Amino acid sequence: MPLVVGSDAQRASVRTAIVLGVGVVVGTGVLAYAELKSRRRRTLQSPEEKRKTPGALSKSNLVLITDDVECAPTVRRLLTGGEPPCPLSGFGSTGSVTGMLRQHSWGEHCTGVYGLGGYSQSSRILICMVGLPARGKSYINLMLIRYLQWSGFPVKDFNAGNLRRQQGMSGVSADFFANDKDKIALREQIASAVMEDAITWLKEQVSVCVAIFDATNSTKKRRAEILKRCRASNGITAVFVESLCDDPVVLEANYKMKLGNDDYKGMDPVVARADFLARIQAYTTRYETIDDNEGEGSISYIKLFNVGRKVTMHNCSGYLTSQLGFYLSNIHITPRRIWLVRHAESVDEVHGRLGPTSGTLTARGTRYCHQLKKYLLQRRGDLPNDRSDSTAAALGVESPLLVLIGTAPVHVATCATTFPHTNEDGLEIVAMNTSLLNELGGGDLAGVTYERMRSEYPHVWEERQKDKFRFRYPGAGGESYADVVGRLQPIIIELERQRRSVLVISHLAVQRCLYAYFTGCPMEEKMPHLDMDPRHSVVELRPGPFGCSVERTNLESEVEALSHESVDRSRYIT
């Protein structure tokens, strides 16, 4: 019988397994303990010494002792559809116990190992957009795709309007959307074809995944058909996302964007606008908002008012569905800036040590802090509407700049040196620190230089070079880029939630992960290799309804102008 996580019997079994050299896969905390004990005594040995070590981990002595597993971020997800279970996929880690499960010969009683959110009886989600034209559905699609891709879940958009245009119906007038019987049948045919494409794609996936069915889906009849089709497809859950908007400012901006698509290319703007408004009116006459009684009360939906000002959810109980609802409840289109900067140059960094934690800044680092403050004073002056805080807005003054930092001494030193006095020069700040923003953990190799790693631990170096995204440093606290992405999810929510401008002071790995989220950078292939140099620079992000603009400012020249030092940066950690 599977053992209960945290029970005395299980802990005894874990200790026995460690003594015998058996790899144990259990709940998150015990997994870390078992894996730590098994790996710490072997990781820093040479390959020859490892072969001589009794009880070396292998696929033949790997044991599963619980049937309710939520592994650490080593494995992101697994779908058990058929025998044997599908192979592990998503954001994994090389060189770990769970990584070895990829080659494990599964027993008849072993159903698989899952990451948090990776197991669900209905693991394929069809998100169905609902809403009149120009109500922000495209913006919500963009945000969902970006968030899901960054989190490691396969996602694809299926757009009814794009299929219509591909079938030669680009530039149709508002008459195409009228309540004519033949036109309705043609529109239903296009929508059904897009839905079938989305369901086919979902069935082809081997892990938890999301397809976005982007159409108006504006009637109860159409939504009933979607629910019926999903119920006929085992393991596919329909979740409706309805966007309602009556804000004239948002609507006007959406109208202008829509008039730039292929339906109105080359058309007189006045004529195009009149036609588009007529199209909206045609939809409005038959539009039915979602209510709780649809699908005999079982319908799952997320309803957004004015792009996140108000959000309601119904029957959103699944892990991923509830996560998406929480995410959508925090997004908005308020203009603001997010500045990503690395901590000031430290003594540890100059010496090329992995995971520098020293709070001692170099003279160059101190000068950089002074230049950073000058930059922020100038940029804050360029954003007069940065008054999102309710109290500040009532008083007609700027809200304090939010500064997010890690708990490493070098983060604190950078913040304290940049802002030595509160509200000096009119720049008021609110600083918050969290270990979530600390650098990627180096484990047993923390403090080791790259030169030493290459020469003394070549097997570790080689594994890192093979897969920089999934490679996890050995030992207690060792992390991979995939692990950092997992722990940064609350930071992403905080950055999306904030309506004021935010400065984030972090190390390079965290900066890369945050930059990748806002820019939509491919995670596994490119994110760990992003060039964020020059070292003393500022990356300014401006999230908006149609994407995120990026501007880089090099402060290195100002720092160098005040410096007579010559520093070799080839040793810096990357």
pLDDT at 533: 84
343 is catalytic: yes
Catalytic residue among 128, 209, 230, 245: 245
What lies within 8 Å, CB to CB, of 230 at 6+ separation is 126, 199, 236, 237, 238
Helix, strand, coil percent content, the chain, rounded in steps of 5: 45, 15, 40
Query: Do the beta carbons of residue 150 and residue 516 sit within 8 Å?
Result: yes
Catalytic residue among 343, 411, 507, 536: 343
Map residue 306 onto helix, strand or coil: coil
Catalytic residue among 439, 463, 479, 558: 439
439 is catalytic: yes
The CB-side HSE value for 151 (13 A sphere, CA atoms) comes to 26
Catalytic residue among 35, 214, 348, 463: 214
pLDDT at 528: 94
The CB-side HSE value for 440 (13 A sphere, CA atoms) comes to 27
Give me the tens of pLDDT residue by residue for the chain, a chain 574 residues long: 333 334 444 444 433 333 333 333 333 333 333 333 334 434 444 445 444 443 333 333 333 333 333 333 333 333 222 222 333 334 543 333 333 333 344 344 445 555 565 555 457 999 999 999 988 888 899 999 999 999 999 999 999 988 988 888 887 888 888 888 888 899 999 999 999 999 999 999 988 899 999 999 999 999 999 999 999 988 899 999 999 999 888 888 888 888 877 788 888 889 989 989 999 999 999 999 999 999 999 999 999 998 888 899 999 988 889 999 999 999 988 888 999 999 998 887 777 666 556 788 989 899 999 999 999 988 876 654 454 444 444 434 457 889 999 999 999 999 999 998 766 677 888 999 999 999 999 999 988 888 889 999 999 999 999 999 999 999 999 999 999 999 999 999 999 999 999 999 999 999 999 999 999 999 999 999 999 988 889 999 999 877 899 999 999 877 765 554 444 444 444 4
Tokens coding 358? 């020293």
Q: Crossing angle of helices 489-497/508-519, nearest 10°?
A: 60
Query: Do the beta carbons of residue 71 and residue 100 sit within 8 Å?
Result: no
pLDDT at 117: 57
Tokens coding 9? 């019997």
pLDDT at 138: 85
pLDDT at 395: 38
Q: What tens digit of pLDDT does each residue of 185-195 get?
A: 999 999 999 99
Domains of the chain (ranges plus CATH)?
Answer: 8-103 (no CATH), 124-328 (3.40.50.300), 338-571 (3.40.50.1240)
The overall average pLDDT reported for the chain is 77
pLDDT at 62: 33
529 is catalytic: no
pLDDT at 116: 60
Q: DSSP letter at 35?
A: H
pLDDT at 63: 35
